[in-house]
Structure 1
Amino acid sequence: MPRTRKPNDSLSQWMTRAGISNAELARAVTRRARVQGHRGVNPSEGRVRAWRQGETPRHPVPQLIADHLGSCVGIYLTCADIGMPGTATLPQGPDQAWEPRSTIAAVDHLTRSELMDPQTRPRDDTPALHTGTDLLTPLQHWALATPSALTARDGGRIGMNDVTAIRQLTDMFRDADNRHGGTLSRKAVIAQMHDANTLLNTATYTETVGRALFGAVADLGSVAAWMAFDSGHHHTAQNLFITALHAASEAGDRALGAHILQCMARQMSHLHHYSDALDLIALAQYGARRQATPATQSMLASLESRFLAITGQLHDSERAARHAEDHFTQITPADEPPHMTFFDEVELCATLGIAHQIAAKHDTGTHRQRRAEESLHLLKHALDLRPAHRVRSTAFDHLGIARTYLVVGELTGAYEQTHRALDHFATIGSKRVSDRLAELHDEAAPYTTAPEAVALREEITAAITTAP
């Protein structure tokens, strides 16, 4: 007696949602098969009807069907989504493949998951982070990966004007992050990243436009990840950084990849994984060595100086600081990419000022005062030049000065600068600033016999407790 097949309702539902007939799906599968070199795949309208009745087509047909239906509805579909077996699995974490489909799928999965998550307040997701070799070993492939061939799509054609529009929106989101912190705009950026990624998955474009679109998605991803990091959503931030790095690789833009890696290094340092932070900077320096602009090289060297100071390597920290200053003198602003416009004299001074502050804290010898004075000089210069719209950075400047004053026991200065930092903190939503305030609160504990230290700690506690 013949076995009765169960109708494939999932396939029928997706075809209905896509608004295509059996004959249209047959032609689309044939067309995609031709593009990918599968000459023996030529289904008929009747064959599609058989699939809907429960017949399972042979490889690679299930993936071809999923690809076409996904392009029609604007989301990534797996073979399982359409009720068929397949070898493709949704990539997760740092182990995803360095190829376009895996990158598009990862971005789609992450953005959809975030947009559907009703949770807006940060929760302790740091145990889920990848660290050490689990993070670094898969990312080593970035230094050698080359852009893969882009698969032809069936959707509407887009051009460089569309990519430019996405980049302009990215600049707007980056400015909002600077002014207000990452909490308020995080999901708006993720939604825009999802839309831009949908174009990668469904639109028709030339090779040049496709590479540029991958770069635009990568830059959007770096902003979305940075906002997630600033909001205290660390696992989400790491996953977004990783997928953005993959998108930058498909764009062939190693300078952008280095920028994303330095963002990841800052996150690792913030979470006290200092060895990982240094390794990420080293990977960025090596992988982008032929494409890195002077601003990129200066930025990476300044962060290297900071992380070396944290790990107590003070002489190497000073050497890296000198390299950062040397590279900075070679910058031609007009030749720098948009994602590097943030790194100016102000940012260099602030980063190196923090490096000297940390070195002063570690130094118990005669050089402590010199390091502290250099830190104050650089941080105050950064504060004097800081644009008014860089509100969060201004708060960090005041906090940096306060912590340097605390290193040398100047409690009045530490209190005054903390008070100013708190004024700025009240106008933004930033878990990073809150965490930095908490560190300052703990650093002031040895001075609690002084009224300035008592007031400093009380005001920090009140501000953090009432923060949204």
Structure 2
Amino acid sequence: MGRPRGDQQPNALLQHWMNRCDGMSRGRLARLVTARGVEQGITGLGTDESRVRAWLKGSVPREPVPRLILEVLSAESGVALSYADIGLPGDTAADGIRTPWTRTGALAALTHHVRREMMLHDSRTGPEASVHTGNDLLEPLQEWVVARPDATDPSDRRPGRRIGTSEVESIRLITSTFRDLDNRHGGVLSRSAVLAQTDAVLDMLKTSVYTEASGRALFSAAADLGSVAAWMTFDAGRHAIAQHTFIAALHAAAEGGDKRIGAHILQCMARQMSHLGHVEDALDLVALAQYGARRDLTPTGTSMLAALEARFLAILGRISDSDAAAGRALDAFEHVQPDEDPHLSFFDLPELQATLGMAHQIAAKHLDGAARTRQVQRSTTLVEAALAGRPDHRRRSAAFDHLGLARTHLAGGEVDGAAEETARCLEALSTIQSQRVADRLVELHREADPFADTAPGRELREQISQLVDTG
């Protein structure tokens, strides 16, 4: 009446909810599952204490047993649990990209991906394993534009601790702290902590009492925290789970009625798609963010999305369109007000300069002669200005700036300058762990191949090879 789990890890989630049900014994769970099955006309289950012991050790029962366990523990705990909550398979909607745009769907999806990453740490078979692209990605996300929060007031649905504004502010403060850690040290070191914190917030949403207004604010805060967890996972190079967590966070933002957070999550996803080489998808995600949040975007959000659009268009060789988008980014930034978007605090003047500087550097690679030289000069000016203005805590951004300058120097044939900036990038990485930076270093190593017969070219490539696997 079950099969062994492939990894045979103990089911700590099932044990957790048994403990929450007044320390439910294995025998009692077995009896209740059997009784509920009989009520539904299901006989011959053979559920006993030894079966429950096997489930706790990691064995996975066959249907309908997971559903019966879910129903029993939900009834006994007074909490509407999901399969992800109890560590068992069931309705796989939350595991895919077509999660329902409902409160239950948002909670189940974010819980599923956060807890799977916390407990299983599945290895990736490649940088794009299970990553959705093209229409498979974009078509289900179109519903974000029209998704609306559940209008039901949950305050009288269950007993529990009442939560409200103070808890929302605490979550936002914690989120800001994790963002700062990510900026200082990269996503690898703090990822486990932010996943655990996100899980705690999700548990709060499931087990506490809150009004409709407080619930929306809580879902918005949970979505923002979830986006940080997804971003750190992306920075760690775990692309499939990062994308799924971004999507789950987008559902939570929709449940919170927060289009600004939703647009922010979509731009994060766009950066990931560009990193993986799916630039058309990246542009589509930016366009979806711009359209879906068109009535809610601040100048900060408008400028950020236009700057990303400029960079992605440059990658595609659409230079005039890229210049036009850069102009829109600069125009919008003139109207930015301090602190108008706390979750976009990273998008300051140096970030705008660095983003547009990279657009000019990329454009240079599509051009020759004087046109190429002009783009290199623009890129150099902007990225150097970004470096000069970076706050001290933006260490990973500074590393990217040095790396970007190295690539700009290569585009202009200045190999000595490229080698110097590469050394500065590697020095900045001494306190940072970021797979994204490592991936970009591999690209720089490849771009320097035509200069491998020169002393600075060899030096540049050797510096990178000593730090990352360039094979």
TM-score bin (small chain) = 0.7 to 0.9
* Shift in CA distance, 66/449, structure 1 to aligned 2, threshold 3 Å: same
Report matched runs for 1:31-430 at 5 Å. 51-52=35-36, 54-56=38-40, 67-69=74-76, 72=79, 76-77=82-83, 89-118=92-121, 124-150=126-152, 151=154, 152-334=157-339, 336-430=340-434
Measured after TM superposition, the shift of residue 453 of structure 1 is 0.4
Tell me, yes or no, if the aligned pair for 2:399 and 2:424 is still in contact at 8 Å. yes
Residue segments in structure 1 that go unaligned for 5+ positions in a row? 1-10, 22-47
Shift of residue 176, structure 1, vs aligned partner: 0.5
User: Partner of 1:220: helix, strand, or coil?
Assistant: helix
- Give the SS at the match of 2:323: helix
Q: Per-residue deviation at 1:16?
A: 6.9
The answer to whether the Cα contact below 8 Å between 1:257 and 1:284 also exists between their aligned partners in 2 is yes
* Residues 347, 68 of structure 1: alpha-carbon distance in 2 compared, 3 angstrom cutoff: farther
Query: Counterparts of 2:468 and 2:87 in 1: how far apart (Å)?
Result: 45
Partners of 1:228 and 1:12 in 2: how far apart?
A: 27
Q: 1:418–1:456: 8 Å Cα contact kept in structure 2?
A: yes
Name the counterpart of 1:449: 453
Q: 1:351 to 1:81 in 2, by over 3 A?
A: closer
Counterpart-to-counterpart distance in 2, 1:419 and 1:50: 66
What amino acid does structure 2 have at the position aligned with 1:197?
L
Shift of 1:363: 1.3
Give TM-score, length-normalised by structure 1.
Answer: 0.84
Shift of 1:112: 1.5
Shift of residue 396, structure 1, vs aligned partner: 0.3
Report the residue type matching 2:143 in the other structure. H
- Give the Å deviation of 1:341: 1.0
* Identity across matched positions, percent: 50
User: Following TM superposition, by how much is the alpha carbon of 1:201 offset from its aligned partner in structure 2, in angstroms?
Assistant: 1.1
Structure 1 window deviating more from structure 2 (157-166 vs 313-322): it is 157-166
Q: State how far apart, in whole Å, the 1-side matches of 2:399 and 2:15 are.
A: 56
Aligned residues: 423
Compared CA separation, residues 230 and 18, structure 1 to 2 (3 A): same
Does the C-alpha gap of structure 1 residues 192 and 79 become closer, same or farther in structure 2, counting only changes over 3 Å? Answer: closer
Give the direction of change, closer, same or farther, for the CA distance of 1:368–1:199 in structure 2 (3 Å limit). same
Q: Is residue 399–residue 428 contact of structure 2 (8 Å, CA) maintained in 1?
A: yes
Say which SS state the counterpart of residue 333 (structure 1) adopts: coil
Any gaps of 5 or more consecutive residues in structure 2?
1-13, 25-31, 43-66
Relative to structure 1, the CA distance from residue 368 to residue 223 in structure 2 (aligned partners, 3 Å threshold; closer, same or farther) is same
Post-superposition offset of 1:76: 3.0
Query: Matches of 2:129 and 2:88 in 1, distance apart?
Result: 34
Normalised by the size of structure 2, how large is the TM-score? 0.84
Q: Deviations over 1:72-103 (max 9, x none)?
A: 5x9534899899xx9x5542232101001011
In 2, Cα distance between equivalents of 1:306 and 1:199: 39
Which amino acid letter does the alignment assign opposite residue 418 of structure 2?
A
Note if contact 2:102-2:255 (Cα within 8 Å) is conserved in structure 1: yes
